[in-house]
Structure 1
Amino acid sequence: MTDTPLPLAGIRVLDIATFIAAPYAAAILGEFGAEVIKVEQPQDGDTFRHFGSITGRDGDSLMWLSEARNKTSVTLDLRKPEGKALFLRLAAKADVVAENFRPGTLEKWGLGWEELSRINPGLILLRISGYGQTGPYRDRPGFARIAHAFGGLSHLAGLPGGVPVTPGSTSLADYMSGLYGAIGVLVALRHRDATGRGQVIDLALYESVFRALDEIAPAFAMFGKLRQREGAGTVNACPHGHFRCGDGAWIAIACTTDRMFARLCDAMGRPELAGDGHWGLLRDRLAARDGVDALVTAWTESRTRDEVMRLCLEFEVPAAPLNSIADIFADPQFQARDNLLKVLDPTLGEVVVPGVVPKLSATPGRVDHLGPRLGDGNARVYGELLGLTPEELAGLKARNVI
């Protein structure tokens, strides 16, 4: 923690979302200086607090501690008239509101864009939902797994003819949507700088996944190509996959160009395979994919992974070990880049969380503290920002408004 000014200092974000996507967008903004006020339900708080591995700090999870980094927590029941009134007062002093309820929820509470923009014309509203605010599916619930399926990713993941899978069993769509959401906020802030006007950012979870599927859409539209599951391989390059080594470990090798394949052939001691009449051209390798992969597999299985990596590095072949989290913790690259950040919590001691991405040379982001305790900012936010007295706060708490 340092006192170096960050580029988003002075920007205030109200995070009224839950789980990952919109809260992740808010966390990114917070890493670069924005004040992020996390609005939670009184008593139990955000459901995300208790999702994942539970710690000894008030039952908060590691997911919460990591993804709610740098935020201040206030409790507020938006469904109650007094809660709505307080939120509108907060929104009048905010730059961004981030939400990921089903479309129409904020409107039902009287907190839709019409009301928010009336009291704060410069406000930016980030709305992330499963299917977006428009379209025939707008009212459907959605989570990352649903987005992976609907957006086309799960269809492509898994073995040919096998069960489609979610890559890594991760919430990839949530994190991708959070990134797009943060980008949207930054663009909207730039627009506001020029015009003084805020706007709505409408983002669907499935869109973030679909946008990342390279040429699949134009290839289908132009040529009728329907890509199927390729297992560990890829459709446009060969060899380009995961290969088992002699010690049982796995390595990724990616020969995207003919020159890269020639280097691999040199590493394998088979330079003739990259010559004329063999597999020197990509089209020939694609036509003989099974044979190429079998040859590379025979080579990797004859050596340990460390030996394969050494040869790939020596001949400048793009390769990497398939790291487990244990491998990652032991790898010097992750240490050198501060990818494993140690943050001190007063109750739990040192907690390791993923570091800040991206790295800026003049104004690097930072993690000042882990996810907050429930309501830790009530006195400051309601007292200093809205001017409520201790007696008023006590009354609101007694009525379960905060």
Structure 2
Amino acid sequence: MAGPLDGVKIVDFTGVVSGPLATMFLADQGASVLKVEPLSGDITRRSRQAIDKQGEFSALFISSNRGKRSISVDAKSQEGREILLKLLADADVLVQNFRPGAMERLGMGPEQLREKFPRLIYVSISGVGDDGPYFKKRVYDPIVQGLSGFADIQADPQTGRPRMIRTIVADKTAAIFTAQAICAALYGREQSGRGEHIKVAMLDAMISYLWPEGMMQYTVVGKEAATADPNLRPDLVFETKDGYITVGTISDSEWSGFCEASGHPELKTDPRFSTPSARTANGMDRILLMGELIKQRTSAEWLERLDNADVPCAPILRRNELVQNEQVVARELIKEFDQPTVGRVRQPQPAAQFESIAGQPIRPAPRIGEHTSAILRELGYSDKAVAELIASRVIRIPSYQ
């Protein structure tokens, strides 16, 4: 069945992760995403270990580009730009994450396209925005983690040394914000009939994402120094006799349940921990005490005791355990399918599940320029014209075509 975005055409000029992941979410929901690649392909095809003999696929690329069609074009050539303008003639959305000025040099900046395509939703993704003293910086995820406060919130509670999150959280968060903004703009266009220029900076996205609990002590102007940092404490990884678990004790009932499960009911009335505000103020002492108690039993014992007391808890899974976890398996959260030239691969089920497309199979990621010929024929190019473009290296198609 068609997804909720069936009929929406997205021309995706993005590379690396933030843009490709955003458009992949929309492809999962039924949009037709045409991935425009240089003749050498998206950089992430090669920036990680190749998993096929041709060297066209990395696991990262597959996980950011499933369900798309690929057209490989030399956008710097006149013929290439003509192809791209024809692609945009009936497109709903253009997404790009080039450095500032690159699209304008191709004649495809937002203002340059607005007159030709007034209904086009134009999306620009950047690292730190298109103005300010940093706007020309080359930016990757760790740069944004450092600038946004994320490295600070992960700081070692004893030494204060900042630490990075070991996943590209800034790229992926920006992707989610971008996908949501595109859907909002599509709805807005239904009301106004006009397109929109959306700007999403990774830095902006991460500050917005961090703020609700990560910046609590900076929320009230003038009271910053008097407000304790709620994050200056050990993390909630607790070592057991045979592994690691995590436990949440925010509410009074949860703390009471933990005290009973631990065999120390007297802790419920300890003045350091008897109220939510006291537990927050004495967070370091509370978590260190919990850690000492939790070391005394196995993970299975603790999880049974805490579940019986209705206390939030879970095993801390190693990544190699995740695929076989009983909850993951029961809900079929990880799917398998055949990826051409690679073999059998795993991908997560799309996080947002729609009743109308329940059970729809996941579509593989494309080879470089896999759909170039078909797309050009849809645009009205003849077989002879396609052959001439291939010969002049304006376009690329896979060797098997």
Same fold (TM over 0.5): yes
8 Å contact 2:75–2:81 — kept in the other structure?
A: yes
8 Å contact 1:33–1:365 — kept in the other structure?
A: no
Question: Which residue, out of 170, 174, 177, partners 2:167?
Answer: 170
Counterpart Cα distance in 1 of 2:46 and 2:214: 38
Whether 2:282 is the aligned partner of 1:284: answer no
Counterpart Cα distance in 2 of 1:293 and 1:217: 21
What is the aligned partner in structure 1 of residue 69 from structure 2? 72
8 Å contact 1:356–1:367 — kept in the other structure?
A: no
What is the aligned partner in structure 2 of residue 238 from structure 1? none
Question: Cα–Cα, structure 1 residues 290 and 87, in superposed 2: closer, same or farther, change >3 Å?
Answer: closer
Whether 2:54 is the aligned partner of 1:51: answer no
Partner secondary structure for residue 36 of structure 1: strand
Q: CA deviation at 1:148?
A: 1.0
Q: CA deviation at 1:47?
A: 0.8
Partner secondary structure for residue 362 of structure 1: helix
Question: Cα–Cα, structure 1 residues 139 and 278, in superposed 2: closer, same or farther, change >3 Å?
Answer: closer
For residues 73-107 of structure 1, the C-alpha deviation after alignment (integer angstroms, 9 at most, x for no partner) is: 11111122221121111111211111111121111
Partner secondary structure for residue 165 of structure 1: coil
Counterpart Cα distance in 2 of 1:192 and 1:378: 29
Q: CA deviation at 1:232?
A: 3.6
Counterpart Cα distance in 2 of 1:34 and 1:57: 30
For residues 148-200 of structure 1, the C-alpha deviation after alignment (integer angstroms, 9 at most, x for no partner) is: 11111111113122432221x11111111111100010000001111111111
Whether 2:179 is the aligned partner of 1:182: answer yes
Letter of the 1:197 partner, please give it: R
Partner secondary structure for residue 119 of structure 1: coil
Whether 2:224 is the aligned partner of 1:230: answer no
Q: CA deviation at 1:316?
A: 0.8
Letter of the 1:357 partner, please give it: A
Partner secondary structure for residue 212 of structure 1: helix
Question: Which residue, out of 292, 296, 299, partners 1:302?
Answer: 296
For residues 171-230 of structure 1, the C-alpha deviation after alignment (integer angstroms, 9 at most, x for no partner) is: 111111111100010000001111111111101001111112224546325211484863
Question: Which residue, out of 347, 350, 353, partners 1:356?
Answer: 350
What is the aligned partner in structure 2 of residue 242 from structure 1? 237
Q: CA deviation at 1:338?
A: 2.5
Whether 2:108 is the aligned partner of 1:106: answer no
What is the aligned partner in structure 2 of residue 14 from structure 1? 11
Whether 2:391 is the aligned partner of 1:389: answer no
Q: CA deviation at 1:53?
A: 3.3
Counterpart Cα distance in 2 of 1:73 and 1:303: 54
8 Å contact 2:23–2:33 — kept in the other structure?
A: yes
What is the aligned partner in structure 1 of residue 204 from structure 2? 207
Question: Cα–Cα, structure 1 residues 152 and 142, in superposed 2: closer, same or farther, change >3 Å?
Answer: same
Greater displacement, 290-299 / 182-191: 290-299
Whether 2:149 is the aligned partner of 1:155: answer no
Letter of the 1:396 partner, please give it: L
For residues 310-364 of structure 1, the C-alpha deviation after alignment (integer angstroms, 9 at most, x for no partner) is: 1111111111122111121120111222321111224333211122111223344
Greater displacement, 218-227 / 55-64: 218-227
8 Å contact 1:66–1:370 — kept in the other structure?
A: no
Letter of the 2:344 partner, please give it: E
Question: Cα–Cα, structure 1 residues 277 and 106, in superposed 2: closer, same or farther, change >3 Å?
Answer: closer
Partner secondary structure for residue 330 of structure 1: coil
What is the aligned partner in structure 1 of residue 399 from structure 2? none
Partner secondary structure for residue 211 of structure 1: helix
TM-score of the superposed pair, with normalisation by structure 1:
0.91
8 Å contact 2:12–2:20 — kept in the other structure?
A: yes
8 Å contact 2:258–2:306 — kept in the other structure?
A: yes
8 Å contact 1:252–1:319 — kept in the other structure?
A: yes
What is the aligned partner in structure 2 of residue 237 from structure 1? none
Counterpart Cα distance in 1 of 2:67 and 2:113: 25
Counterpart Cα distance in 1 of 2:271 and 2:214: 31
Letter of the 1:71 partner, please give it: K
Identify unmatched segments of 5+ residues in structure 1: 234-240
Identify unmatched segments of 5+ residues in structure 2: 396-401
Question: Which residue, out of 64, 86, 89, partners 2:83?
Answer: 86
Question: Cα–Cα, structure 1 residues 92 and 190, in superposed 2: closer, same or farther, change >3 Å?
Answer: same
Identity of aligned residues (%): 29
Q: CA deviation at 1:372?
A: 0.5
Counterpart Cα distance in 1 of 2:53 and 2:206: 34
Letter of the 2:153 partner, please give it: L
8 Å contact 1:246–1:304 — kept in the other structure?
A: yes
Question: Which residue, out of 119, 127, 142, partners 2:116?
Answer: 119
Greater displacement, 348-357 / 148-157: 348-357
What is the aligned partner in structure 2 of residue 236 from structure 1? none
8 Å contact 1:75–1:375 — kept in the other structure?
A: yes
8 Å contact 1:31–1:366 — kept in the other structure?
A: no
Counterpart Cα distance in 2 of 1:389 and 1:269: 79
Partner secondary structure for residue 88 of structure 1: helix
Counterpart Cα distance in 1 of 2:197 and 2:18: 16
Counterpart Cα distance in 1 of 2:282 and 2:251: 16
Counterpart Cα distance in 2 of 1:133 and 1:364: 40
Greater displacement, 179-188 / 86-95: 86-95
